[in-house]
Amino acid sequence: MKDSLYHRIALTFEEQIRSGTLKKGQKMPSLRLVHKEHGVSLNTVLQAYYELEAKGLIVSRPKSGYYVSFSLPGLSIPSVSQPVWQCPSESVESLISRVYASLNAEGITRFSLGVPDNQLLPIARLNKAMLEAMRNLKGSGTEYEDIQGNRKLREAVARMTYAWNGKLTGEDIVTTSGTMGALSFAFQSVVEKGDTVAVESPVYFGILQLARSLGLQVIELPTHPLTGIDPDALRRVLPQIDACILVGNFNNPLGSCMPDEHKREIVHMLSERGIPLIEDDIYGDLYFGSSRPRPCKYYDTENLVLWCGSVSKTLAPGYRVGWIAPGKYKDSVIHQKLIHTVSTTTLTQEAVAGFLEKGRYEHHLRKLRNELHANSLHFSRAIEAYFPEGTRISRPQGGFMMWVELPRVDTTELYDQAIRRNISIAPGRMFSLQNQFVNCMRLSFGQRWSDEVEDRLQLLGKVAKNLMS
């Protein structure tokens, strides 16, 4: 997957701005200079600068040129998690229910939402793909599809893995009802009641709820806000665990991304003991860098990684289209799918298959990534400007989740105060069974940036400051 020339040039400058090599207020190299040095057309340089401007990294001053307008927030990153071992707090479930219930009320600013706003989705094109699906399918989609799933979709998903040298074929993939369906079948294929699984911490609460409901023991491991789970911590619990589940790329809620060497190391140590790894790679395609990060599946020589994905965070949550490449657990996953749901919805799978086949998906992803990246910078700046002194934030390198650590503020209390002002956030306690992250929250930046969004963040910061005093 080659990115366009101008985009790569823009990324080079962005790196320099983000690392502080190019400082706020400094003049950018002239268009002509870049044109000469990079051997590209003036127009390409101009496009690159437009992109940087759109992200709020540089500004144009008439008759003078472009200037760096952005400096990294001075905020520190949140602490590395150090899960403590307490009795699970029962009220976590009720907190989650409360946050969920608030999402559908009218006029709410949904910083707690786990999906991108539908303003960012290519709805007209999806509708076209749906009409094509109704025309193409026998019986217009009223028939059951193959239990393993729509063949076109499986093959299109396999082709997408070429971006990270995935070497998967349509035969390796089973379609599911979203990534949650994939995780459910994965769990039920590799562990049973009483078994123990290792997870990141903080961790997406859906994973915790699923594990609890299946009667599993959960070990939450220290996780770095930039590089993800600590491999040494995982190594220490290997003798105790029956499976591991990771959201390695742009983890929800941290936005962290595991370095390649960590991925290789972790797959290796798990394989040595024959421990399966369930990999939730739902955010992997939403990278802000120059290429898609590899999943752990890339390092999987023993077929022990169950790689899960979907279009729920990128295209159409309500379509319920996801997939899993279950490695050696393929027969079991297909059996789970058969007995729990027979098959997945015929029409939405065919529509997504058509959308993927025609290259519309890659086109859409490019736009979506740019917008989300710009949003992440807008959010960082606003939080720096409006939130209490001492606030720490993560540095998402993809996806649309940001982890915010506040000084001396109980975010459950903040939730209660904010929801009265029609702002919904996801309090940190939702992301652990150990009653921790009391002063943290997850903010979603998957909505179009606007003055109104900025105003809402400002108000949220004000509420937090009031709670402190």
Q: Phi then psi for 344, rounded to 5 degrees? A: -95, 170
> Which stretch, 125-133, 153-161, 165-173, 461-469, contacts a second copy (CB under 8 A)?
125-133
Q: What minimum distance in Å lies between the beta carbon of 233 and a second copy?
A: 26
> Which stretch, 173-181, 216-224, 271-279, 291-299, contacts a second copy (CB under 8 A)?
173-181
> Which stretch, 177-185, 239-247, 402-410, 458-466, contacts a second copy (CB under 8 A)?
177-185
Among the residues of 274-359, which ranges form H helices?
A: 330-341, 346-357
The answer to whether the beta carbons of residues 380 and 73 sit under 8 Å apart is: yes
Toward a second copy, which CB reaches closer, 212 or 358? 212
Q: Does 213 bind a second copy (CB under 8 A)?
A: yes
Distance CA 81, CA 106 (A): 35
**Using CB under 8 A, which of 227, 290, 341, 417 touches a second copy?**
341
**Using CB under 8 A, which of 226, 347, 438, 459 touches a second copy?**
347
Distance CA 147, CA 6 (A): 44
Q: Does 91 bind a second copy (CB under 8 A)?
A: no
- Binding to a second copy (CB under 8 A) within 12-51 occurs at none
**Using CB under 8 A, which of 24, 36, 340, 448 touches a second copy?**
340
Q: Does 343 bind a second copy (CB under 8 A)?
A: yes
Q: What minimum distance in Å lies between the beta carbon of 162 and a second copy?
A: 26
Toward a second copy, which CB reaches closer, 107 or 139? 139
Among the residues of 19-163, which ranges form H helices?
A: 31-38, 42-54, 91-102, 123-136, 151-160
The strand pair at 174-176 and 109-110 is best described as unpaired
Written as six digits, the tokens of 278 are 């369930």
Question: What is the residue whose two structure tokens read 């070990």?
Answer: 219
Q: Does 178 bind a second copy (CB under 8 A)?
A: yes
Q: What minimum distance in Å lies between the beta carbon of 448 and a second copy?
A: 14
> Which stretch, 45-53, 62-70, 269-277, 312-320, contacts a second copy (CB under 8 A)?
312-320
Amino acid at 216: L
Q: Does 342 bind a second copy (CB under 8 A)?
A: yes
Distance CA 265, CA 271 (A): 10
Q: Does 344 bind a second copy (CB under 8 A)?
A: yes
> Which stretch, 34-42, 174-182, 253-261, 422-430, contacts a second copy (CB under 8 A)?
174-182
Distance CA 109, CA 454 (A): 11
Distance CA 377, CA 212 (A): 36
**Using CB under 8 A, which of 1, 84, 105, 134 touches a second copy?**
134
Q: Does 90 bind a second copy (CB under 8 A)?
A: no
Q: Phi then psi for 280, rounded to 5 degrees? A: -95, 100
How many positions of this chain bind a second copy (CB under 8 A)?
53
Q: What minimum distance in Å lies between the beta carbon of 129 and a second copy?
A: 11
Written as six digits, the tokens of 337 are 């799918």
Toward a second copy, which CB reaches closer, 30 or 118? 118
SS3 392: strand
Q: What minimum distance in Å lies between the beta carbon of 98 and a second copy?
A: 14
Q: Does 95 bind a second copy (CB under 8 A)?
A: no
Residue 322's nearest CA partner among 310, 330, 334 is: 310
Instruction: Please report the beta strands in 217-364, taking only residues with DSSP state E, as ranges in sequence order.
Output: 217-221, 223-224, 228-229, 243-246, 277-280, 305-310, 322-325
**Using CB under 8 A, which of 99, 258, 315, 353 touches a second copy?**
315
Q: Which helix (H) or strand (E) holds 196?
A: strand 196-200
Instruction: Please report the beta strands in 287-434, taking only residues with DSSP state E, as ranges in sequence order.
Output: 305-310, 322-325, 392-393, 401-405, 423-424, 426-427
**Using CB under 8 A, which of 73, 78, 83, 141 touches a second copy?**
141
Toward a second copy, which CB reaches closer, 34 or 334? 334
Toward a second copy, which CB reaches closer, 208 or 234? 208
User: Who's near 415: CB < 8 A, 6+ residues apart?
Assistant: 98, 99, 424, 425, 427, 441
Q: Does 181 bind a second copy (CB under 8 A)?
A: yes
Residues that bind a second copy (CB under 8 A): 100, 104, 115, 118, 121, 123, 126-127, 130, 134, 137-147, 177-178, 180-181, 184, 188, 192-193, 206, 209-210, 213, 215, 315-320, 335-336, 338-348
